[in-house]
Structure 1
Amino acid sequence: MSKQAAPVKKNETITLTFEDLTHEGNGVGKIDGYPLFVPYALPGEEAKVKVVKVNKKYGFGKLINVTKASPDRVEPPCDVFYKCGGCQIQHMSYSMQLEMKQNQVKNVMRKVAHLDHVPVYETIGMEDPWRYRNKVSIPVGEKGGELITGFYQMRSHHIIDDMDTCVVQDDVNDRMIEGVRRIASRLGIRAYDEKNHRGVLRHIMVRTGRETKETMIVLITRTEKLPHKEELVKELTDTYPNVKSIIHNVNSRRTNVILGDKTTVLWGEKYIYDTIGNIRFAISAKSFYQVNPPQTRKLYEKALEYAQVDEDDTVIDAYCGIGTISLFLAQKAKKLYGVEIVPEAINDAKINAKINGITNVEFEVGKAETVMPKWKEDGLRPDVIIVDPPRKGCEESLLNAMVEMGPKRIVYVSCNPSTLARDLRILEDGGYETKKVQPVDMFPQSMHVECVAMMSRELSN
């Protein structure tokens, strides 16, 4: 049987009407039932499109000219939006972004988890969906003998050198990056040359406490030695009084990973502090701390509501990190146990518990799927388990351990709706029922969405 050809050819220019969005925010239009995925196109629009790739079942196009625009199309405020790729959906009204994210969650709940009946609520958004990120890591390069900083151009390692601001970053971070670059350039500190594995300064990382306005600068170098470090530190601290910590991190490897293993304090404290609600957190250079604290508070309040923890409850927080969710839950619970594979995070979690005077917590280093069965053998019977895994979701062995422990409720916090849906299906098959799912917009202007799902055990008669 001959293979049916696609109705379009590569490099052909066509007129296309768009009817849908992918979970990446690309427009979907069809020619004789054959779908074309086109970045920056919106449903309801008509546009001239150049076909750039043709597969058997679908193709990809490039937007040339929008002939009929959607009322939800907006002008991106970022000058480098179409080069950068850090944000994918600035061209979309915020109300459409929130609706797209709700639909994304609904689709995977239906297609992957087979849970059509479970309510997926409207996405909780921000009043002001700009300037929300409290952390930036930006690569350093050179041009004309001067240091340049900027994100990499989409699908490349070419630094966008005409980028002077990032509209989703805290403006303090913008100013700090510019300050470090200017001072380091004047002092003659060389940028890292990725191709030849030479030079010094690889990345500049800045973290800012949203509530406290305390700032940490992390200088990531290829070399153990940071030239002119005394002058650099003096000028930064004289110029910027909000800087509380300057850290030197050494990454001598040929790698895309930003941070290396060796971290030393050049000036000030090892930590900066921030608060979410009534909890104070110490944040180190390597701490995982949510980049959008106002939305984190909404996310955790929802997790707390779904957990329904009372003073007689024992709670397990798998993937507890530096104790962000743990400490909120511990205020309501009888006892909380946290587990996390990163030793530095557990150390930070213990410090954070101490700072907040919370004593009914125990934190342990290890894989959740290894530690939790051990806790079960020791007789630990949790009333509530909360998980907040990385994008890849939970190991099946951990999901099985959760089912065997038999808590009354499971609260699943997820940054990836697809793996959330996959894992909910496994927990459903283990006797739990998904009651509701709440999307939260932690990353406005990007296609990412965070969710909280509530599950309870079906009791047999």
Structure 2
Amino acid sequence: MVNKNEVYEITIEDIGTEGQGIGHVDGEAVFVKDTLPGDTASIKIIKAKKNLAYGRLMEIIKPSGYRTTPLCDVARSCGGCTLQHMDYDAQLKYKWDKVKNLLQRIGGISEPEKLMESAEDKKAYGLVEPFHYRNKMQFPVGYDKEGKAVLGFYAGRTHSIIPLSDCVIGHPVNKFIIKAVKEFIDRYKISIYDEEKHKGLIRHVLTRVGFHTNELMVCMVINGNDIPHYEKLHEMISSEVAKFGGEILFKSFMININKDKTNRILGFDSKVLIGDPFISDYIGDVKFNISPQSFFQVNPEMTEKLYSKALEYAALSGGEKVWDMYCGIGTISLFLAEKAGNVYGVEIVPQAIDDAKNNAKLNDIKNVEFHVGKAEEVVPGLYEKDRERYTADVVVVDPPRKGCDEKLLETLVSMAPARLVYVSCDPATLARDIKYLTDHNFELKKVAVFDQFSHGIHVETVVQLINKNAKAKHHVRISMDAEDYYSIKDSEKKEEER
């Protein structure tokens, strides 16, 4: 019997879907964060259940061959990089295995590895340089013990800020922005938001960088209507950013107003202080204008590879009708439009649809049509109203973490497209929906795994399914976006906005 607060020596044998090492004490499974298969460790039990326990790492007695020294000093305490202590090749192998196991266990696919592409030796497609890859960061702001401003990230499962001066997975220009914002708050005595009291001004700092354009956005999320001395803040950020290098263009300085007592980072209203309301970047040859609220993939290098694979799986020949479900600002829609006859996008967020329409105009793409609403309501409604127009040759679905609504899956089955491409960052809900689709005349044909979130547990997957009853001309692609999690039940409870 494993007892709470007892210290044990344990050998880690496996790794779970949330990145915890798994070992056994007296036959009981024990999950331990920050450990790897092959580690021998001293651990303290922090929670004990029937046949299952959770431990805290106290000391590594003998390190695993997969273990490496994190580049970040606060990697263990920060809630961002849960796998930075794991060798990068081992991370790619772990994520490939994770998708394989969930497809087999939940999706009912008997030998998924036979359908899975591999970068090499059963690994996910990875980055050449797995650091400084994120084009978007959101830093909560708080005080240290001396009452000085700090920016950082929340510790895992808490709202306690781990202060930092840089982040090794974000664009390196963030180091200079963090320094300027902290100095500004301290110099001008700007108040910082207190979650419990619902008082104070500065809540978060959001940054975006166009990796192809070098355009920079800084957006201050505030509990108010304006920032005192904001011209000085712009001046201080500009001065610090200039130290990084002349290639960065500080194009957009904004505020986002969030006066709600909520854990949601962004409010619904943004205002330009200096510059433009957006920055621009590219995916392939398609240009996108990106606002503070825009959903845009955070890893530009891997996104191009992922979308190229989705386009390959869609196998467009030029005349197909394509549905892009949960289309966001139209990233996948516009990426596919060059190869399709017509593309129809649907997204629940009105501002995202406005962005999608503007991005279509920006690229002079005219064979796209966007609709506002829930995909599970809009698509069946339009399909029943005009089947000839809205029957899909290719379908693109990109839903939130909970996956596809069953009503939408029923409509896809009724549409009976020939190919279905499913892009997912939650392999458990992906596997669940594959099970439904393969029970309704679809067959899983191809799987590709991408390391979209290096040093984290999340993984992006692109799959192709074939409709066994479809006419030869039909193609269906479904793109699904969700994050990695321990179980479907937990995922549905923790559903968040993309």
TM range (shorter): over 0.9
- Cα contact 1:135–1:173 (8 A) shared by 2: no
Match of 1:441 in 2: 451
Match of 2:57 in 1: 63
Match of 1:369 in 2: 376
Alpha-carbon distance change, 66 to 239 in structure 1, aligned in 2, over 3 angstroms: closer
Match of 1:286 in 2: 293
Match of 2:153 in 1: 151
CA distance in 1, matches of 2:275, 2:47: 53
Match of 1:206 in 2: 207
- Give yes or no for the alignment of 1:43 onto 2:37: yes
Match of 1:407 among 411, 417, 420: 417
Match of 2:128 in 1: 127
Alpha-carbon distance change, 48 to 261 in structure 1, aligned in 2, over 3 angstroms: same
CA distance in 2, matches of 1:78, 1:375: 50
Alpha-carbon distance change, 430 to 39 in structure 1, aligned in 2, over 3 angstroms: same
Deviation track 1:312-335 (CA, whole Å, cap 9, x = no partner) reads 211100011111111111110111
1:460 deviates by 8.7
Residue 161 of structure 2 aligns with an amino acid whose one-letter code is I
Residue 151 of structure 1 aligns with an amino acid whose one-letter code is F
Instruction: Tell me which moved more, 15-24 or 186-195.
Output: 186-195
- Cα contact 1:385–1:411 (8 A) shared by 2: yes
Could you tell me which runs of 5 or more consecutive residues in structure 1 were left unpaired when the two chains were aligned. Answer: 1-6
Secondary structure, aligned partner of 1:108: helix
1:240 deviates by 4.0
Alpha-carbon distance change, 15 to 237 in structure 1, aligned in 2, over 3 angstroms: closer
- Cα contact 2:220–2:255 (8 A) shared by 1: yes
CA distance in 2, matches of 1:145, 1:33: 48
Secondary structure, aligned partner of 1:389: coil
Residue 40 of structure 1 aligns with an amino acid whose one-letter code is D
- Cα contact 2:165–2:178 (8 A) shared by 1: no
- Cα contact 1:131–1:169 (8 A) shared by 2: yes
Deviation track 1:63-111 (CA, whole Å, cap 9, x = no partner) reads 2222222111001111111211211011100111011111111111111
Could you tell me which runs of 5 or more consecutive residues in structure 2 were left unpaired when the two chains were aligned. Answer: 119-123, 243-248, 472-498
- Cα contact 1:139–1:149 (8 A) shared by 2: yes
1:253 deviates by 1.2
- Give yes or no for the alignment of 1:382 onto 2:392: yes
Residue 301 of structure 1 aligns with an amino acid whose one-letter code is S
CA distance in 2, matches of 1:14, 1:226: 52
Match of 1:194 in 2: 195
Residue 427 of structure 1 aligns with an amino acid whose one-letter code is L
Match of 1:454 in 2: 464
Match of 1:320 in 2: 327
Match of 1:228 in 2: 229
Residue 325 of structure 1 aligns with an amino acid whose one-letter code is I
Match of 1:165 in 2: 166
Alpha-carbon distance change, 9 to 348 in structure 1, aligned in 2, over 3 angstroms: same
Alpha-carbon distance change, 139 to 75 in structure 1, aligned in 2, over 3 angstroms: same
1:140 deviates by 1.2
Match of 1:304 in 2: 311
1:374 deviates by 2.4
Secondary structure, aligned partner of 1:171: coil
1:235 deviates by 4.0
Q: Percent identity?
A: 46
Instruction: Tell me which moved more, 36-45 or 145-154.
Output: 145-154
1:28 deviates by 0.9
Deviation track 1:387-428 (CA, whole Å, cap 9, x = no partner) reads 121111110001111111111111111110000000111111
Give the TM-score, by structure 2 length.
0.88
CA distance in 2, matches of 1:436, 1:19: 30
Match of 1:3 in 2: none
Match of 2:272 among 250, 260, 265: 265
- Cα contact 2:180–2:233 (8 A) shared by 1: no
- Cα contact 2:35–2:57 (8 A) shared by 1: yes
- Give yes or no for the alignment of 1:427 onto 2:421: no
Deviation track 1:335-377 (CA, whole Å, cap 9, x = no partner) reads 1111111111111111111111111111111111111112222
Secondary structure, aligned partner of 2:31: strand
- Cα contact 2:39–2:63 (8 A) shared by 1: yes
CA distance in 1, matches of 2:19, 2:239: 44
1:33 deviates by 2.9
Matches within 5 A, 1:83-162: 83-118=77-112, 119-122=115-118, 123-143=124-144, 144-161=146-163
CA distance in 2, matches of 1:117, 1:195: 51
Alpha-carbon distance change, 460 to 224 in structure 1, aligned in 2, over 3 angstroms: closer
Secondary structure, aligned partner of 2:160: coil
Secondary structure, aligned partner of 1:100: helix
- Cα contact 1:13–1:51 (8 A) shared by 2: yes
Match of 1:254 in 2: 261
Residue 349 of structure 2 aligns with an amino acid whose one-letter code is V
Residue 451 of structure 2 aligns with an amino acid whose one-letter code is D
CA distance in 1, matches of 2:99, 2:159: 32
CA distance in 2, matches of 1:128, 1:286: 28
Give the TM-score, by structure 1 length.
0.95
CA distance in 2, matches of 1:137, 1:113: 34
CA distance in 2, matches of 1:185, 1:243: 23
Residue 407 of structure 2 aligns with an amino acid whose one-letter code is S
Deviation track 1:295-321 (CA, whole Å, cap 9, x = no partner) reads 000110110011101112111000111
CA RMSD after TM alignment: 1.6
- Give yes or no for the alignment of 1:333 onto 2:329: no
- Cα contact 1:389–1:413 (8 A) shared by 2: no
Instruction: Tell me which moved more, 366-375 or 333-342.
Output: 366-375
Alpha-carbon distance change, 13 to 425 in structure 1, aligned in 2, over 3 angstroms: same
CA distance in 1, matches of 2:48, 2:143: 38
CA distance in 2, matches of 1:389, 1:8: 41
CA distance in 1, matches of 2:362, 2:287: 7
Deviation track 1:17-52 (CA, whole Å, cap 9, x = no partner) reads 221100111111123431111112211222222222
Residue 261 of structure 1 aligns with an amino acid whose one-letter code is F
CA distance in 2, matches of 1:157, 1:340: 31
- Cα contact 1:173–1:207 (8 A) shared by 2: no
CA distance in 2, matches of 1:431, 1:35: 39
1:169 deviates by 0.7
